Amino acid sequence: MLTVLTSYWIEVPVAGFLLTVALAGFVGVGALLSVIDARTHRLPNRIVLPSYPWVAVLLGAAAALAGQWHRILGMLVGCAVLWVGFELLHLLDRRGLGFGDVKLAGLLGLYLGFAGWQELWWGPCFAILLGGLWSLGLVLTGRAGLGSAVAFGPFLILGAALALAVLR
């Protein structure tokens, strides 16, 4: 994503600015949701749902100004793919993955789909890997049991951030 950001700033500074604002929102909202979810095991609708339109507008406008229309399709497909995929996981075991995680996955799908298919794939994979390692560490240190609940939102956000930061 840093390559895209740099090229936007060089070629179309307004697009670079919009993408920068969108990424700053990712960091701010992601940090806030991570803290809330870690403490309460909730991802509040009052934060997640209003984020959808402003992220879509910022990313969509940046892509349009840069003439990269494929990124708009990518972010919409990314949102849908992650929403539907996580909804199916939620329906399989409602105790394992909450509906807040489903809504957050859709939001993150906007960013990941905008960045590319590789990021869309690896963001959730990184989240599962990081969440699994954290949970294993909790079990091995006796701080949790096999049936303990662990907030997954922070790992979804961290996995998406990692995919956006290190890929391409």
**Cβ within 8 Å of residue 124, ≥6 positions away:** 82, 85, 86, 105, 156, 159
Helix (H/G/I), strand (E/B), else coil: 106: helix
What digits encode the pLDDT tens for the residues 126-152? Answer: 999 999 999 999 999 988 887 788 999
Q: Is pTM beyond 0.85 here?
A: yes
The confidence score (pLDDT) of residue 117 equals 96
- The 10s digit of each residue's pLDDT in 74-109 is 999 999 999 999 999 999 988 889 999 999 999 999
Q: What is the Cα–Cα distance from 32 to 51, expressed in whole angstroms?
A: 12
Of 92, 90, 112, nearest to 158 by C-alpha is 112
